Amino acid sequence: MHEEIPLSRPDITSAEEECVLQALRSGRLSQGPFVEEFERLVAQRAQCRHGVAVSSGTDGLHLVLRALGVGPGDEVVTTPFSFVASSNAILMVGATPKFVDICPTSLNMDPGKVVEAIGPRTKAILAVEAFGNPTHMQAYQTIAARHEIPLIEDCCEALGTTHRGRACGHYGRAGVFGFYPNKQITTGEGGMIVTDDERLAATCRSLRNQGRPIPKPGEHALGTWLAHDRLGYNARLDELSSALGVAQMRRLDELITGRQRVARGYLTRLMHRHELILPTVDEGTEMSWFVFVVRLATGWGRVERDRIIASLRRHDVGAADYFPCIHLQPFYRELFGYREGMFPIAETVSQRTIALPFFTRMTDRDVGFVVQTLELMLERELLAR
């Protein structure tokens, strides 16, 4: 008997345990040195000057949109092919997501369609690096600059990825990372805003902390604790989670090497399967690999894909349909009247994706077993045609 191979699994060692214990024993459980160190480490990795730790990636996106003054009546150009949080953050500030279809290779927004979608009400572009792929980020940067609107980078799936030495997180006016347990590093729950814009960072710091003013140098935090400059939130990340994040960041290179090894294992084993489209990585891109998502070739559909995922799960192989299109989620249909066929590329891609088990500790044997099981399912589907 073999054990179940999960879709993902965090990589926690004694280094993380010790760091969290140190925070726990310090007596300081919120707004302390681990938050600061974690902010420094993530900002540095993203080649940004400031990091603002928050309680989730979703909160990070929400605070950035608020800080940039995006609100009711505004439109934000974004992708329908993403985890729902990227677009929900836009709804949270009362603005409207203006979806544009994706490019079938990179799975990121088609830059030409981004240009077409920009109108007088467009207040920002919120670009997602789908599965951590930074393709077109420079194009969005140029478009945003030309229209004098900010680019927000949802780099929640891209920590540690670089393109020609330039890190994900630095492309936008602000970037946002997420640290849910399936990401490259985890803090349990958590997120980080990164930016070069000092004022934006300060506003986000205030918004995450009940709208409190930022204490001036030399000023005691208690002096400003009951002052509230604006409507804020409690989106602080605690010291324990930040300590976990610090230990994970110190191991980031090791974690990325592990992910690259597993990705290579899949790529070499699946290369010859003409029923599958494998992830495309641009020349010059060093992926940190958030997930490993294959997709059935054109001509296959949702029925076959769903059957394959169900059989993989029956064989103890974790698999998932990353991602259903956001515009087709029930409340988006209801709110905006979206229907099938409105973003055809995102829809046909999304109907054929299969996320395979993917985590640093996957052995070569695990990868072999997943591939063998997937191949069995493909053979079955071929026979049934």
Ligand X SMILES: *Cc1c(COP(=O)(O)O)cnc(C)c1O
By CB under 6 A, residue 82 contacts ligand X: yes
Measured from the CB atom, is 178 or 357 closer to ligand X?
Answer: 178
By CB under 6 A, residue 80 contacts ligand X: no
State which of residues 80, 169, 191, 245 lies at the interface with ligand X (CB under 6 A): 191
Measured from the CB atom, is 58 or 141 closer to ligand X?
Answer: 58
By CB under 6 A, residue 180 contacts ligand X: yes
By CB under 6 A, residue 75 contacts ligand X: no
Q: Hey, which residues does 293 pair with through a beta bridge?
A: 355
CB of 359 to ligand X, least distance (A): 15
Q: Report the SS3 class of residue 385.
A: coil
CB-based contacts of 205, cutoff 8 Å, min separation 6? 52, 214
CB of 300 to ligand X, least distance (A): 25
Q: Report the SS3 class of residue 337.
A: coil
Instruction: Tell me the DSSP string of 229-297.
Output: SS---B-PPBHHHHHHHHHHHHTHHHHHHHHHHHHHHHHHHHTT-TTEEPPP--TTEE---S-EEEEEP
Tell me which residue of 246, 183, 176 sits closest to 11, measured CA to CA.
Answer: 183
Count residues near ligand X (CB under 6 A): 14
Measured from the CB atom, is 114 or 192 closer to ligand X?
Answer: 192
Specify whether the CB–CB gap between 230 and 67 falls below 8 A.
no
CB of 319 to ligand X, least distance (A): 17
By CB under 6 A, residue 151 contacts ligand X: no
CB of 301 to ligand X, least distance (A): 25
Measured from the CB atom, is 48 or 168 closer to ligand X?
Answer: 168
By CB under 6 A, residue 134 contacts ligand X: no
CB-based contacts of 95, cutoff 8 Å, min separation 6? 65, 70, 71, 72, 73, 74, 75, 76, 123
Residue 189: DSSP 8-state:
S
By CB under 6 A, residue 109 contacts ligand X: no
> Footprint of ligand X on this chain (CB under 6 A)?
56-58, 82-83, 85-86, 128, 154, 156-157, 178, 180, 191
